[in-house]
Structure 1
Amino acid sequence: MRAAEQLLASSADGQISTREICSGAQVTAPTLYHHFKDKHALLDAVVLEGFNTYLDGKRAIAWSGDVLEDFRTGWDVHVSFGCEHPAHYRLMFGNPQADQTAPAALVARDELARTVAEWGAKGQLMVSVDAATETMSAAAVGVTLQLIAAQADSTHPISTNVRDTIAHALFHPLNPGDTFADGVTRPARQLLDALPRGPLERLRPTEVALLREWLASLADSSI
């Protein structure tokens, strides 16, 4: 595994041979096949081990709790990993066939799905959890593979432009400096304050009373 990891790190496209691996490890091919079904199984194990190390570092990040900031941070970390480990990343995401999905890619997908589900449970998404997860994954992988092909780094405008476009499409809009709660309570409070105290056209008195009650509840204030 160490020999394969070193070869992979120095490879631009992840194309390394069994002969190279055995030579680097100073073993014969039967030794490799004693431990792994084939070369692809060995590379899957190497990539998964490296990606789990990356995930450990990501889980140690002090997240802000602000959905947009944390989304951008997570996106940037993902793209940076791909640009810094292009051969690993291609093995993870370079083959779109479902039956050939690398184990590390499955781990990444599960991690993303859990995070997006938490955002969805808090009402921070404008679309379903599944739609948001698939959109984020497709966009991040596509951008990262494009940057790898262009030999660009994660600070390229392609990444930041797509990232911010995705954020605008998936998350409820907030004003700068707002928490997510401000995105609901502030407009409710403003609308409540703007309502005249008397009757409203097109609404019956019972509907007006109910509207005021709902707005007051959302604004966490009294009528």
Structure 2
Amino acid sequence: MDDAKTRSRRQILEVAAELLERRGAQALSTRAVAAAAGIRAASLYQLFGDKDGLLSALAIHAFDLYLTQKHTLSSSGDPVDDMRRGWDMHVDFGLEHPALYLLMYGTDRPGRRPPAAQKAQELLMTFLGRAATDGRLRVPPVLAAHLTLAAVTGVTLTLIGIPEGERDPEVSPRMREALIDALTTDTSPAPDSTLAARALALDATLSRADPATVPLRPVETALLQDWLQHLAH
């Protein structure tokens, strides 16, 4: 795609996002977006196909906005505190952009999610991988990621459905702390820590290590990680 088409596509998505947030999903017809963008409907169809194509592109655009904010969260040095900050940023984004958030996480068909969601999942795994490497996770990072996403999207969607003046400000932090208590330990494991915590920490360290620095063949590393994951349960 050439630069002119890329710019045109981005401008249309920005107009569509503004229209979605201002007037809701029912107002987001291809004709309305084309009119708001000052283009012919035929031009919009050339770029996005039908309305489903526009919505898919808009979901990716929403994830790009989300990830731009998420990447501003530098590590604090405490992986559990980073989990808290990541949770708060996620909820704040959803409440600031409710219509976009519903497009991102309120799938219209079971099993369907925008490809850009994988990038957000990978970023979450990065935060949880740090916690596991430090011996702070009670469960494997993949399970922790599924539980975290289920909890944070559930809270955000629930809050979006409540009028702003009626939202209880304790809902999000209480759920956040309940989840963190369930997933993490208070401190890094001591030498006499549980076998599960130490196995998780070593598994996470191997996952994040440069393969060239691991004195095992790939098949041996995979076998060791399989054993470690069994020990962690």
Q: Structure 1 length as normaliser, TM-score? A: 0.71
C-alpha distance in 2, partners of 1:159/1:8? Answer: 25
The more displaced of 21-30 and 72-81 is: 21-30
Instruction: Give yes or no for the alignment of 1:124 onto 2:136.
Output: yes
CA displacement, residues 27-76 of structure 1 (integer Å, 9 cap, x when unaligned): 23221110112223223323423432332232223431212211111100
**In the alignment, which residue of structure 2 is the partner of 1:160?**
173
Q: Which amino acid aligns with 2:182?
A: A
Structure 2 counterparts to residues 88-103 of structure 1, below 5 A: 88-95=100-107, 97-103=109-115
1:161-198: CA deviations, max 9, x gaps?
110000000001x2xxxxx34x52699xxxxxxxxxxx
Whether 2:74 is the aligned partner of 1:68: answer no
Cα 1:49–1:159 change in 2 (3 A) is same
8 Å contact 1:7–1:16 — kept in the other structure? yes
Question: 2:161 is matched with which residue: 142, 145, 149?
Answer: 149
Unaligned runs of 5+ in 1: 175-179, 188-223
The number of residues matched between the two structures is 181
SS at match of 2:161: helix
Q: 2:46 — aligned with what?
A: 34
Q: Describe the superposition over 1:111-147 as per-residue Cα deviations: whole angstroms up to 9, x where unpaired.
A: 2123222322332210111210100000000000000
5+ residue gaps, structure 2, are 1-11, 194-233
Q: Closer, same or farther in 2 for the Cα pair 1:151/1:4, shift >3 Å?
A: same
Whole-angstrom distance in 2 between the partners of 1:14 and 1:164: 36
Q: Is the radius of gyration larger for structure 1 or structure 2?
A: 1
Asked whether the equivalents of residues 14 and 90 of structure 1 are also in contact (C-alpha less than 8 Å), the reply is no
RMSD: 2.6
Distance 1:96 1:30, change over 3 A: closer
Residue in structure 1 matched with residue 206 of structure 2 by the alignment: none
In percent, how many aligned pairs have the same letter?
Answer: 34
Select between 30-39 and 113-122 the one with higher mean Cα deviation. Answer: 113-122
The corresponding residue for 2:57 is: 45
State the 1:155 CA deviation: 7.5
- Equivalent positions of 1:1-223 (< 5 A) are 1=12, 2-13=14-25, 16-95=28-107, 97-152=109-164, 156-172=169-185, 174=186, 180-181=187-188, 184=190
* Alignment check: 8 A CA contact 2:19 2:27 kept: no
TM-score using structure 2 length:
0.68
Whether the 8 Å contact between 1:14 and 1:87 is mirrored in structure 2 is: no
Relative to structure 1, the CA distance from residue 14 to residue 159 in structure 2 (aligned partners, 3 Å threshold; closer, same or farther) is farther
Distance 1:123 1:18, change over 3 A: same
Q: Which residue identity lines up with residue 105 of structure 2 in the other structure?
A: F
Whole-angstrom CA distance in 2 between matches of 1:155 and 1:8: 26
